[in-house]
Amino acid sequence: MLLTADIGNTNIVLGAFENDSLVFVSRLATERARTEDQYAVELESIFNLNKVDFNAFTGAIISSVVPELSNTICLAIKKILGISPLTLSPGLKTGLNILTDNPAEVGSDLVAGAVAASNKYPLPCLVMDLGTATKISVIDKNGAFCGCSIAPGIAISLEALSSRTSQLPNISFKAPDRVIGKNTVDSMRSGTVFGTASMLDGMCQKIEKELGEKIKTIVATGGLSSDIIKSCENEITADPVLILEGLKIIYEKNISKKR
């Protein structure tokens, strides 16, 4: 079995693969102050909860946008599984041609998502990652990563709206029944959900025009994607495990290379 871990600013998403089957997916809150022992306890509990034999794992790979946690999670995995994980970094073979000014600075989550999308979907493709930040990656017809756009995430926007205004409350994230809000909460939800959906639709249009070719696939991943894409005009495929699948592909490229 292979353990994959996507370490994000809000959540750590774990996935265990047995051959090509995803056995389980689990999410942990990202807490930078936790030690390797604390994360090891969490990992042990997750494996037990999913009735997975520790000895069944033969490999592990992580993607991290939280540098201060990368080594902590690696040590926790090694403590529980006895395996030193691969870390997705510029030294690993990905098969992805990155056409940016500085390929080394592209986030490992974006790389993993692009690798999976280029292997799974018709190209050109857009990958929307709706998490702490709202990111749209552009993959051209040749499978190359052209670049991306990054905007504040939905949760961050809501938090800023509530904390910076005296009369606007903290609200739960939920799409309202209509765009024209009749009360404060529904008005905030309208602006957040429908506003984000409209921004995504508009960005798709602008990216397609700039790319100069028809976008064949739009894929959405990330913790908040399922609620937003329902309100988009474009046809968008939800793929919540895209990054985990990309990590699996990258792991296999590097293990076969060593062999």
Sheet holding 145-152, edge to edge: 145-152, 133-139, 125-130, 217-221, 237-238
- Catalytic residues, by residue number, are 109
Of the candidates 237, 7, 1, 229, the one whose C-alpha atom is nearest the C-alpha of residue 112 is 7
For 197, the token pair is 């959906």
Say how far apart CA 81 and CA 30 lie, in whole Å.
21
Cross-strand bridge partners of residue 237? 219
User: How far is residue 1 from each of residues 16, 20, 24, measured CA to CA in Å?
Assistant: 7, 10, 11
